[in-house]
Amino acid sequence: MEGIWNGSGEKPVVVVGGANVDIGGISDRPLVERDSNPGRVRVSVGGVGRNIAHNLRLLGLPVVFLTALGRDAHGDRVAAECAMAGIDCERVLRTREASTSTYLYIADEGGEMRLAVADMEICGRISPDYLREQADLLADAAAVVFDSNLPEESIRYLADTCSSPLFADPVSVAKAPRLRGVLGSLHTLKPNRLEAELLSGVPIRAEEDLPRAAEALLASGMRRVFLSLGSRGVYAAEAGHGRHLPCCPAEPVNMTGAGDAMMAGLVWASLQGLDLENTARAAAAAASVAVEGKHTVNPLLSPALLRERMAAARP
């Protein structure tokens, strides 16, 4: 497969999606409901789109981020940390009419998220009108990555107008239905098991269900699907070929950023022209680096580390 991007650095990856402040509590011991659990509380910037953008920068790709932020302290923090990460935020929408998104989560002693509340009303302002103002940028992107925090009409706008390869993250079972009408326009979809069941219509109860679900999704016209299975690895598929690959070995500290790093790995590998299996290995390697960091994005991620882990994971 030829690379989508020639690696010259001239064309950026455009990421369209949510950006928020994350407030996370990680318990020191098994969680007890309706009680105060000893642990650590951390405040950091996050959001699926923002995290993907940050991971892509760590992988050496030029990134322009399209999102909406409030003109408030949280918005200033998100913008400042994006700038420090090298993410181009010149076209971000800033407004006084809504607050910057906030994501509150509780994780267990193993770093696995157990409960979360997302206040992301401002994402409704990432509208088709806002995206039309970015038409020149979207038309010349190496790839466009978006998450389902966007309004459905904005997702449809991207699907109808973008000639660049589209990479989609369903985000959650609640938001995945926003993708139903655009599946055939996607280059790559990265669902988890529940999201894949919802979008494919195929219950996934056993190993033999994975290719059936993937085939149903590919029948829409998308090019590739990478079904994230958590600790069971990833099922990767394209027309006529599917493969279940295991996770890369890791020493988990915080599981919350694995999916965002995985998507960045998929984009990076696709732009390098890697085949299906090596693209899946890159995604698994990126996720393994992410879970070893204290924060949602692990600053140690790099192309060199990704290649090292990919090589170590090959049979």
Q: By C-alpha distance, which of 281, 8, 5 is closest to 167? A: 5
Q: By C-alpha distance, which of 4, 270, 273 is closest to 142? A: 4
The CATH homologous superfamily for domain 15-313 is: Ribokinase (3.40.1190.20)
pLDDT at 4 over 80: no
Q: How far apart are CA 272 and CA 20, in angstroms?
A: 30
Q: How far apart are CA 9 and CA 274, in angstroms?
A: 18
Q: Please state the domain extents for the chain.
A: 15-313
- pTM, rounded to two decimals: 0.90
234-238 vs 224-228, strand pairing mode: antiparallel
Q: How far apart are CA 227 and CA 230, in angstroms?
A: 9
pLDDT at 313 over 90: no
Q: Quote the tokens at residue 40.
A: 């650590």
Q: How far apart are CA 284 and CA 264, in angstroms?
A: 10
113-119 vs 101-107, strand pairing mode: antiparallel
What confidence tens digit (pLDDT) does each residue in 46-105 have?
A: 999 999 999 999 999 999 999 999 999 999 999 999 999 999 999 999 999 999 999 898
Q: By C-alpha distance, which of 58, 47, 55 is closest to 262? A: 55
What confidence tens digit (pLDDT) does each residue in 194-233 have?
A: 999 999 999 999 999 999 999 999 999 999 999 999 889 9
Q: Which residues fall within 8 angstroms of residue 311, CB to CB, at 6 or more apart?
A: none
Burial class for 129, CB neighbours closer than 10 Å (0-12, 13-18, 19+): exposed
Kindly state the average pLDDT of the residues 243-259. 87
